[in-house]
Structure 1
Amino acid sequence: MRIVRRMDPVAGPQISVIVICPGKGYKYFDEIPENIGGGRTLVIRVNGYEDLSRIIMKSRSATIMIPEIGLISTPRSAAVDEILTVDGILEKYVDHLEPLCENTENPVKCREVVEWMKRAMKGEESFTLIIDDPTGRSTEISI
């Protein structure tokens, strides 16, 4: 096992954990934020197409909400830190939900949500994107 400290230009100080088992070929790598602080909630109002290109650094522990459609997405155990545009966040949900709609409790509602997200990805729907992060690491990135 090897533990390394490094500075990520976006996410800040990180502790990298590397485990390699030469006998079995098992490899594991993870990065843990060094300075986990208090919580932070980002509230991003999306009013048109130009807002879809806003860039977000979303930590692995963040919950994503879009109140207009009742979306609350809590992080799963395999979640990772990600840098995404607002459009990219919507695209991930469309890619995940669309093939599952027919097997949900309410396929009609699921398809309506997917279609709403597709319209939002074209800038045809205004909405509020809320990112609630207990570690305080999620942020909007200006380039």
Structure 2
Amino acid sequence: MSEEETVEINEMVIKCPACGVDGIATSIMKEIEIPHFGKVLETTIQCKKCGFKHSDVISLEQNEPAKYTLKISEETLSVRVVRSQSATVSIPEIGVKVEPGPKSEGYVTNVEGMLTRFEGAVIKALNLFDDEVSQTNAKNTLSQIRELIKGNGTATLIIDDPFGQSNIVSDDVVISEIPEEELKHLKTGFSHIEDN
């Protein structure tokens, strides 16, 4: 039996939001109960014609703002991580941070998956910026991320969530309040709330 319990599945054929062809894309919505986290709505849209795919995980429960902190090590690479669309994820020792934006998606992964996402973002940066300083910094960051993925060294994974909808499912996670001053400066991913 799976750890997750699927409560409801809703599947329909829709117009593709990318190519605009009607009746070719599939939209699937599942309400899932995730242990230690609560109910989420998992949505997936996939187009058979153009290959467009969009997935999101939306918490159906609102909680108090929370900071989740976990030491990244070889032993914690498989720890489950739920990142809501409103959360900021960072690894301060490496200097990487992902903040939510209007197209931000929630997802369920593990610590290794979070590192792999950072790795992909740094690789994109390497291709975008060709000046020497950017290249040197990106290559150094990429090397540090890859060492962590291999289980070498330690760092700190921090998820700041203004709506408390994220989670790191581990006995070793430290969950704390976000100080009011920090909370004011957190992005939420909702442009009508953010100060730009």
TM-score by length of 1: 0.75
Aligned length in residues: 127
2:84/2:166 contact within 8 Å kept = yes
| 1:82 paired to 2:107 | yes
Q: Distance in 1 between matches of 2:41 and 2:127?
A: 42
The one of 28, 32, 36 aligned to 1:8 = 32
Partner of 2:142: 114
Going by fraction, where is helix more abundant, 1 or 2? Answer: 1
Q: Structure 1 residue 7: deviation in Å? A: 4.9
Q: Structure 1 residue 93: deviation in Å? A: 1.4
The one of 7, 23, 41 aligned to 2:67 = 41
Question: What per-residue deviation string (whole Å, max 9, x for no partner) do you get for residues 21-53 of structure 1?
Answer: xxxxxxxx977544322111100012x312111
Q: Specify whether residues 14 and 68 from structure 1 end up closer, same or farther in structure 2 by C-alpha distance, changes over 3 A only.
A: closer
Q: Distance in 2 between matches of 1:16 and 1:122?
A: 30
Partner of 1:140: 168
Unaligned runs of 5+ in 1: 1-5, 18-28
For 1:89, the aligned partner's letter is M
Percentage of matched positions with identical amino acids: 25
Q: Specify whether residues 109 and 37 from structure 1 end up closer, same or farther in structure 2 by C-alpha distance, changes over 3 A only.
A: same
| 1:129 paired to 2:157 | yes
2:56/2:106 contact within 8 Å kept = no
Question: What per-residue deviation string (whole Å, max 9, x for no partner) do you get for residues 60-110 of structure 1?
Answer: 111011110111210122222211111100101112221431432511101
Q: Distance in 2 between matches of 1:99 and 1:87?
A: 19
Partner of 2:83: 58
Q: Distance in 1 between matches of 2:169 and 2:156?
A: 17
Q: CA RMSD, aligned part only?
A: 2.8
**Partner SS for 2:77:** helix
